[in-house]
Amino acid sequence: KQEVTQIPAALSVPEGENLVLNCSFTDSAIYNLQWFRQDPGKGLTSLLLIQSSQREQTSGRLNASLDKSSGRSTLYIAASQPGDSATYLCAVMAAGNKLTFGGGTRVLVKP
């Protein structure tokens, strides 16, 4: 059974610092990996999707890498801002078009 882990569960950084969020998964037979953002009381917003054949994906200040063989993905957020404060979730898709989610990392960016 696929298991997805995100460590740390919570992270606090000063504004301007780069954020590094980690995601690990136990079964490397995945189709893709997706990073989401969730604000308190809200739904999930898709940030980046990395297909299993890709090594990284970029969107603005966000960059996500994928190392399928080691079962790891990292989300980098450059020059963090208070508006980046949220919970970040990673999820992997395996057979059956189903996502398995990690527990999330709660990020606080202090002004």
- Catalog residues that contact another protein under the rule CB under 8 A: 31-32, 34, 36, 42-46, 49, 51, 89, 91, 93, 96-99, 101-104
Cα separation, 31 vs 46, whole angstroms: 16
What distance lies between CA 66 and its chain's CA centroid?
Answer: 10
Tell me the closest approach of the beta carbon of residue 101 to another protein, in angstroms.
Answer: 4
Tell me the closest approach of the beta carbon of residue 43 to another protein, in angstroms.
Answer: 5
Tell me the closest approach of the beta carbon of residue 13 to another protein, in angstroms.
Answer: 23
Nearer to another protein, 33 or 80 (CB): 33
Nearer to another protein, 1 or 14 (CB): 1
Tell me the closest approach of the beta carbon of residue 17 to another protein, in angstroms.
Answer: 26
Nearer to another protein, 15 or 32 (CB): 32
Nearer to another protein, 11 or 44 (CB): 44
Cα separation, 19 vs 37, whole angstroms: 14
DSSP letters, 28-97, are ---SEEEEEEE-TTS-EEEEEEEETT-SEEEETTEEEEEETTTTEEEEEESS--GGG-EEEEEEEEETTT
